Structure 1
Amino acid sequence: MSRFLLVVPPLVGHINPAAAVAAKLASRGHELGWACADPALVRRLADETATVFTCAGPVPGDWGGARPADIRGPEALKFLWERFLAPLAVEMAPGVEAAVTEFRPDVVVADQQALAGGLVAERLGVPWATSATTTAEFTDPLAGMPKVTEWLDGLLGELRAGIGDPSGSADPRFSPHLVLAFSTPELAGTEARLGDSIRWVGPSIASRPATPDFPWDWLDPSRATVLVSLGTANTDVGARFLTECVTALRARTDRVQAVIVDPGRTLGTPDGQDKDLLILPSVPQLPLLERVDAVVCHAGHNTVCEALWHGVPLVVAPIRDDQPVVAAQVTGAGAGVRVRFGRVTATRLGAALDAVLHEPAYRAAADRVRTAFRAAGGTRTAADHLERLAAGASLKEDQ
């Protein structure tokens, strides 16, 4: 059996896919270790008995100053890299090196946003794989912005010089050994990046700890059910959008009911329910998706993939980071409608909801992506590739 060290950022949307693959590897008898700046989060999402090596590093909400709510485009990218991703890499590196030295993994599995994983593994001569929990980097989001590309290349070079092998040449976001892309070209698009090391394995989905006391009997089978969620990292900017959602949904209660996830209680009302709206700080998203007809979300990659895994069409309202790219993938696949997060009205939201609920083309497109996702294999296929890498198989043998 082999040892795998998973290096992850302290972000729910990045730990969950890794946890599903880790569970599959563990079921096959392999030994798993983790390196993260938030061990408690890893244990909560993955396994309360997990071996976690603590690393330094910023966690969400501690990015060297509050992130402006209205920051977009290249400025948002620069803020993300300068305030979070680059400091995270530098601060995690000593902990990752200590974890590799103590745990002695056969393979390091480095999240694409935990750059210390790949850089340290390369420097120490350990085979490493990239866990790409979002496909934004596969579509060249900086095309047409040469100055931004030059700036980012320079930043990556500084990271390599500081914590990696200065003589190395691999892009720390893309392992030359193996890149696990948790999507398929049916969603990412035919122009998505290809390469000898890239394996499109589909979403990494597994059961999660249950959310207690969800009122399943509240769901009304005679009406369509809509799930509204902005994820766990956008509670600071969601009040206006969720309020517009409530207005749009209230106007359709004769035919629609909705579950609204409001972890920050930004709606200004206590959690609760009436016969039309259920407002909760968290929900059991995966089992709930089996029973909903549409999803309204921020185009977070995990939420999008989980919805499409169940063949559910979407209304996407990207906010920042990779979300505009993912939203474009959804509309490009024909599986949803995009609205403007900062300016959308209840009228526009309602029209978008009516479209994905009642126009068959959106459901048909979501079903096509669902079929591709399920055929790709998900956690099983990801674990297969990692086992081959640990066994020393070449990339050609792995195809």
Structure 2
Amino acid sequence: MSRFLFVVPPLVGHINPTVGVAAELARRGHEVAWAGRPQLVEPLVGGRATVFPCASRQLGDPGLLRSDSLRGPTALKFLWERFFGPLAHDMAPGVQAAVEEFRPDVLIADQQAVAGALVAERMGVPWATSATTSAGFTSLEGMPKVEEWIAGLLHDLRQQVGAPDGTADPRLSDDLVLLFSTEALVGQDASLGEQVRCVGPSISARPTGSDFPWKRLDPRRPKVLITLGTANTEVTPRFLAECAEAVRTRTDRLQAIVVDPSGTLPEIGDSVLVRRRVPQLSLLERVDAVVCHAGHNTVCETLWHGLPLVVAPIRDDQPAVAGQVTRAGAGVRVRFNRAGATHINAALDAVLHDPDYRAAARRVGRSFREAGGATAAATHLEQLAARTTGETRPR
């Protein structure tokens, strides 16, 4: 049996896909561990999991919020300069300690936790990429200067925490890239190398808690889940308020479940239920559409359930993912900073009443299920471990 080490950033949407893959590897008898922020990883992977601590910043750090006013290349450069670059510095010592103690046969590095790849290359450990967002395969097209700038930043990081003479792109393993999506969403024109395996979303059971008011869901009304992720709390109140107003004024008696981590949005009778957190996977089995920030994890989980989307991207990879949703015909895009109740109402009308959106969502969802998810990802990792057994490992 083999040992697999997952290196993950402090982002829930990037940890969640590894949970199902790790569970499948463990079911097959392999040893599994994580390197990341224990406070985030342990509640998601279970209290008995082995988690090696890595220092890191939170994406919700107030210093990063000004990136919401930036767009395109400037926003991407800001994110690498202020978050991904410092994150690599912060995580590298913890990753090295994890490799030295756990001695993995294969290290799986999240695409945005490049410390994992840089340390693996330096220590001679075979590594794979966990691509928990597909935006990286399309978002730099037509931006060669940005790609050149990022390549320079990665070169500097390699000199500081990696192998100075290394050549691999730490965002994309030469041996294996697990892309948790399919061409039905990413698009057939995406730049996918021969080592990329489109496995679809890795979806596994999560703790649901017992405090959600399931009895308040009205079976007579269509329902929509409204969620803007866990890293955007400071900038979401205006948009959530407009969503609530849109639901309040509808004549078809729509019911909404709004995720408001800040706890500032008031409920509106039984039309707008507000919770700080929700059991998202369980809710997706009961709602008719989703309004979200185009976070890759939420988008894929929604489409897995065959539901259409209204997407309001805020920052980072979200505009690229929103573009994938609209090109696939599975949703409508609105402007996060400008959309009011009227715009949101029109978008909801489209996805709830035009059958083409639901048909497209179901088409993408079928492609996800056929791709194999966690089971397929685990098989590819086993194959990589088998190919590399006997190579030099850290001592």
TM-score by length of 2: 0.95
Is 1:208–2:203 an aligned residue pair? no
The amino acid of 1:180's aligned partner reads: L
Report the CA distance between 1:168 and its aligned residue.
1.9
Contact 2:253 2:271 in 1 (8 A): no
**C-alpha deviations, 1:313-370, integer Å up to 9, x for none?**
0000001100000000000000000001101111111010000000010000001001
Give the whole-Å Cα distance in 2 for the aligned partners of 1:126 and 1:7. Answer: 13
Report the CA distance between 1:103 and its aligned residue.
0.5
Out of 364, 383, 387, the position equivalent to 2:382 is 387
Report the CA distance between 1:62 and its aligned residue.
4.0
- The aligned counterpart of 1:48 is 47
- The aligned counterpart of 1:121 is 120
Runs of 4 or more above 6 Å deviation:
none
- The aligned counterpart of 2:253 is 255
Contact 2:179 2:196 in 1 (8 A): yes
Is 1:264–2:262 an aligned residue pair? yes
**Identity over the aligned pairs, expressed in percent?**
66
Out of 240, 243, 246, the position equivalent to 1:245 is 243
Is 1:357–2:356 an aligned residue pair? no
Give the whole-Å Cα distance in 2 for the aligned partners of 1:276 and 1:91. Answer: 45
Give the whole-Å Cα distance in 2 for the aligned partners of 1:266 and 1:186. Answer: 38
Counterpart mapping for 1:1-399 below 5 A? 1-36=1-36, 38-62=37-61, 67-139=66-138, 141-252=139-250, 254-267=252-265, 269=266, 274-392=269-387
SS at match of 1:380: helix
Shift in CA distance, 288/324, structure 1 to aligned 2, threshold 3 Å? same
C-alpha RMSD of matched pairs (Å): 1.5
Moved more, 368-377 or 212-221: 212-221
Shift in CA distance, 374/117, structure 1 to aligned 2, threshold 3 Å? same
Moved more, 257-266 or 369-378: 257-266
Contact 2:67 2:79 in 1 (8 A): no
Shift in CA distance, 293/34, structure 1 to aligned 2, threshold 3 Å? same
Which structure has more relative contact order (CA 8 Å, sep 6+)? It is 2
TM-score by length of 1: 0.94
Equivalences, count: 389
**C-alpha deviations, 1:154-184, integer Å up to 9, x for none?**
1011111221222221110000111000000
Give the whole-Å Cα distance in 1 for the aligned partners of 2:362 and 2:146. Answer: 37
The amino acid of 2:157's aligned partner reads: L
Mind listing any 5+ residue stretches in structure 1 that lack a counterpart? 395-399
Report the CA distance between 1:25 and its aligned residue.
1.1
Report the CA distance between 1:75 and its aligned residue.
2.5
The amino acid of 1:307's aligned partner reads: T
Report the CA distance between 1:237 and its aligned residue.
0.7
Report the CA distance between 1:77 and its aligned residue.
1.3
Mind listing any 5+ residue stretches in structure 2 that lack a counterpart? 390-395
Contact 1:253 1:276 in 2 (8 A): no
SS at match of 2:234: coil
